[in-house]
Structure 1
Amino acid sequence: MSTLAIATAQEVFDLLRDDLTAIERELERDAVSSVTAITEIAEYLRAGGGKRIRPSLLLLAARSLGYTGHGMIRLGAVVELVHTATLVHDDIIDGADTRRGRPSANTTWGNEKCVLAGDWLYMQAFRIALEERNFKVLDLLIGLTQQMVEGELLQIQTLGRAVNEAEYYELIYRKTACLFSTSMQLGATLAQGTPEQEEALANYGRSVGLAFQIVDDVLDLTATEEVLGKPVASDLREGKTTLPVIHALEHGTASERESILWVLEDGGFRRTPREQIQEILHRNGSVDYAMVAADRHAEQARESLVDLEDSEFKRALLWVLDFVVARDK
């Protein structure tokens, strides 16, 4: 990442520093249960960090519309709890050993305890959101959770087979972009924005979420294990067809397509080495194709903010787009 990008990232962090610190304190309080195992798992997950992108988006949406109340701290913690719960369940479903460079929670506590801890985190998120006494907030969170669960089920149904672009975008919307979109919409709801403002910010969240997941999928195939904090090409090994792979399947030779399909069917690189897959993607320009798509969604997000009043918070939202498409992990 360039020196300018790092400087800009620091400016955004400084802009939200007090709010993010308050959200971290809220998350620390929210991780406590009367059952020791749940507290241990929840605290382990919280301490694992993460970029806190979703709470940051909620804060920027709310503040860009002039909101200053405590509700954005509360709901910032809520969207992070929902995100964390999905990661716990994802790791169990995927049989993942690592998460962000550390052992995944299920490797330490086992699947049984972790699936229940994930359920607890979901319910804890709703309990905290209930303090807002706002039915629209609850409605948004219920719709969000249902879409994310449906996305996970759709993903399971497609494992081991090629999907087309329409199916891929449906999956990544439900699994990733809907949480970005809802985070923005929650911020707008707190600020009592107009329907037009709410729609614009939700559209921004959707587009930036799609770009984020496409870049994530590219990095899974191109970055190193040290950068990723998990094995390279985990998605392909788990039978997931991401955008670069879809492009290679559509534009590669018959033998290249067969090589990719073997990996999807085998759930590993027994018949086709990982390096060969990377070469196929490179030859067909598949990674570049995916990054162009990510840039296109980032541009759509930028266009969503055209009518938003200029402020340091709007400028931060515009910077987020550059961070999403240029990040290396």
Structure 2
Amino acid sequence: MSTLSIATAEEVKDLLADDLAAIEREFSQQSASPIEVVTDIATYLMSGGGKRIRPLLLLLSAKALGCENHSRIRLGAVVEMLHTATLVHDDIIDEADMRRGRPSANTTWGNSKCVLAGDWLYMQAFEAALEERNFKVLDYLISLTKQMVEGELLQMEKLGHLINEEEYFDLIYRKTACLFKVSMQLGAAITHADDDIESHLGEYGRNLGLAFQIVDDVLDLTAAENVLGKPVASDLREGKATLAVIHALERGTGADREAIRTVLADRSFDRVSHVQILEILHRHGSIAYAMDTACAYAEAARLSLSMLPDTDAKRALLWVPGFVTSRDR
């Protein structure tokens, strides 16, 4: 592992500010449609903020390998369009009312229009990617889309049921980590990096994405609603067993397991309260276990960067795992 210093948040912001602004403009241009409602929905979603971590990863991957051409901007917009399309579809599937502290798009425009707008964003992302004339880019994006859809279908089949850790990690890889992995690989693909470097960067993205989703799942259980921007414990109310819950189920008393099963089956806290579930999770160290696991994946991501030359982009990539595991939303 290099002794290179980890960048600060301010240094990362300075390094990427112009490129991220260019990606915002590219997204706006790419999502402009003669059908006004498509543009309205896309604009609403973009204005909701978000961490832009996926395009950030693509930019840093490309910069670490010396890429400064427009491809990094175009594909940064592509991965953000794909991510935005999945959020639209996820909110419909989960019947979510809130997203990032605002009404979800489907609450405003209805499910039917939002399904179609999400489909349009997917196709527009692929049309933009096609301009690269790079089969590897398309191969990554097609494989990514299939895995994300499979992940959503698998999760729907598991709702209300108990799953083990292996099944949980398979789900979060497909739903979240796969896009992180591909964002890193795309940065390498447009620089025509060798397969070994591309593989290491993909491993960084995979490990970071797993850490990101585990932290997301912990925050869903523990964060305040005004910080999270949506109702807390949404996962349990939707029948989803996440890592801390799985840990407690494996270690809890019969009464503990029954309480958790009741919430998952009822998809509500009518018979067992959120406070009771949190008490069970804390008593068995399940929240700490999940966060320790996230931090282990974050560190594994850092270790994947050893083959990269020492640059400001690498310093920024070393910073991202700490940001992922220490955030509060």
- The two structures have a TM-score, normalised by structure 1, of 0.97
Q: What secondary structure does 1:22 align onto?
A: helix
Aligned counterparts of 1:38 and 1:238: Cα–Cα separation in 2: 28
Structure 1 runs of 4+ with >2 Å offset: none
Q: Please list the CA deviations of residues 63-115 of structure 1 after superposition, one character each: whole Å capped at 9, or x if unmatched.
A: 00111110000000000000000000000000000000000000010000000
Superposition map of 1:206-217 within 5 A: 206-217=206-217
- Report the equivalent of 2:3: none
Superposition map of 1:37-186 within 5 A: 37-186=37-186
Shift of 1:277: 0.3
Aligned counterparts of 1:29 and 1:287: Cα–Cα separation in 2: 42
Amino acid at match of 2:94: D
Q: Please list the CA deviations of residues 285-325 of structure 1 after superposition, one character each: whole Å capped at 9, or x if unmatched.
A: 00000011001101111111111111110010000011011
Q: Please list the CA deviations of residues 203-238 of structure 1 after superposition, one character each: whole Å capped at 9, or x if unmatched.
A: 000000000000000000000001100001000100
Shift of 1:60: 0.2
Higher relative contact order structure (alpha carbons within 8 Å, sequence separation ≥ 6): 2
Q: What secondary structure does 1:108 align onto?
A: helix
Superposition map of 1:217-296 within 5 A: 217-296=217-296
Aligned counterparts of 1:327 and 1:46: Cα–Cα separation in 2: 21
Aligned counterparts of 2:22 and 2:277: Cα–Cα separation in 1: 45
Q: What secondary structure does 1:255 align onto?
A: helix
Amino acid at match of 1:268: S
- Report the equivalent of 1:196: 196
Shift of 1:123: 0.3
Aligned counterparts of 2:113 and 2:152: Cα–Cα separation in 1: 20
Question: Tell me, which stretches of 5 or more residues in structure 1 are unaligned?
Answer: 1-6
Amino acid at match of 2:241: T
Root mean square deviation of aligned Cα: 0.7
Aligned counterparts of 1:55 and 1:247: Cα–Cα separation in 2: 33
Q: Please list the CA deviations of residues 119-157 of structure 1 after superposition, one character each: whole Å capped at 9, or x if unmatched.
A: 000001001001101111011100000000000000000
Amino acid at match of 1:109: W
Identical amino acids, percent of aligned pairs: 67
Aligned counterparts of 1:113 and 1:255: Cα–Cα separation in 2: 44
Aligned counterparts of 1:128 and 1:10: Cα–Cα separation in 2: 31
Q: How many residues align?
A: 323
Question: Tell me, which stretches of 5 or more residues in structure 2 are unaligned?
Answer: 1-6
- The two structures have a TM-score, normalised by structure 2, of 0.97
Aligned counterparts of 1:115 and 1:62: Cα–Cα separation in 2: 32
